[in-house]
Amino acid sequence: MNENQVSNTSLWTAYMRAYHCIHATDKIFDDFLAYDLVPEDVREQIEQQIIPEVFLPATNNIVTRARYTEDILEETIRQGVNQYVILGAGMDTFALRRQDLMENLKVFEIDQPTTQDFKLQRYAELGWKIPENLYFVPIDFTKQNLETELTHLPSYDPEAKTFFSWLGVTNYLTREEVETTLRSIANITSSGSILVFDYIDINELNLNKQSEQLQKSTEYLEKVGEPRKTGGFNSLRLAEDLASLGFNLVENLSPSDIERRYLKRCTDIQHSLRYMNFACAVIK
């Protein structure tokens, strides 16, 4: 992705959370700030580009991954987690939306500087106050080392029980970049800290004939300048791969698992993205 460009996909995912919040009859995730966060002209541009057969499954994917993450986060906060690192945060609104959970929590949003600047400017335009315990840390995973950047911050405590989320990002990195970042996470936090992330099952990429859903989303990502790289995993080998990087896999949800858990009452023809999986792992 061009580092001088605000992430287009981060605006799309915020738009999708807003769309779900406004239109869903069976609400999975309530991002009531997302609509205002996406500027009107951006909303209009997005609306002109929507391909319904991709938009609805992608929206279901975005809201289920957010729900999955924040359900586990909330549970772990009750168990004593007091730092939350959002890797590739984009337009994530957790810190403002869940002020009920912010009292004993420090939140670190990591993203590329241009996207963070855009978000900060938008918060200022909307008059939204940034909580004192929310830190914006500009990092490009392809150029900087997460370990070095986070451990330099006086506010970040490597001894604390920490929750990391990494949603919608591994897709845009190479496998090597993903592994480097995973090693950094394992190195900068205490045993028992938690990571939730989503990933593309590389078996889907390797198929002789990829699904139409996957082909269309690949074409779209190329068009908006955020092409997919190969940072996925073979879902059948995920436990071994993570173990070699310092993690114990706790849960690995396939698209069918996700649909069964969250989308049973969904009437869309294609409920979710058939190539995206969610995983939860604990640092050894």
Ligand X SMILES: C[S@@+](CC[C@H](N)C(=O)[O-])C[C@H]1O[C@@H](n2cnc3c(N)ncnc32)[C@H](O)[C@@H]1O
**Rounded to an integer, what distance in angstroms lies between the CA atom of residue 65 and that of residue 16?**
12
* Residue with token string 């909307």: 126
Residue nearest to ligand X (CB): 90
**Residue 146 CB, nearest approach to ligand X (Å):** 9
Closest CA to 167 of 279, 263, 77, 255: 279
Q: How far is the CB of 243 from ligand X (least distance, A)?
A: 25
Report in angstroms how near the CB of residue 181 gets to ligand X at its nearest: 9
Closest approach, Cβ 201 to ligand X, in A, equals 17
Please identify, using beta-carbon distances, which residue of 55 and 192 lies nearer to ligand X: 55
Q: Tell the smallest beta-carbon distance from residue 186 to ligand X (Å).
A: 18
- 147, two tokens: 């370990």
The answer to whether residues 247 and 186 touch, using CB atoms and an 8 Å cutoff, is yes
180 Cβ neighbours under 8 A, 6+ residues apart: 141, 145
* Residue 87 CB partners (closer than 8 Å, separation 6+): 110, 141, 146, 164, 165, 166, 169, 181
182 in Cβ contact with 246 (< 8 Å)? yes
Closest CB to ligand X among residues 74, 80 = 74
CB of 58 or CB of 263, closer to ligand X: 58
Which DSSP category does 126 fall into? Answer: H
Residues 213 and 43: their CA atoms lie apart, in Å, by 23
* Look-up of token digits 């001088």: 4
Residue whose CB is less far from ligand X, 138 or 192: 138
Rounded to a whole number of angstroms, the minimum distance from the CB of residue 229 to ligand X is 9
Binding site for ligand X (CB under 6 A): 1, 7, 9-10, 13, 88-90, 92, 111-112, 115, 139-142, 167-169, 172
C-beta closer to ligand X: residue 118 or 247 = 118
Closer CB to ligand X, 172 or 199, in the complex: 172
Positive/negative CA dihedral, 200, 204, 206, 209:
negative
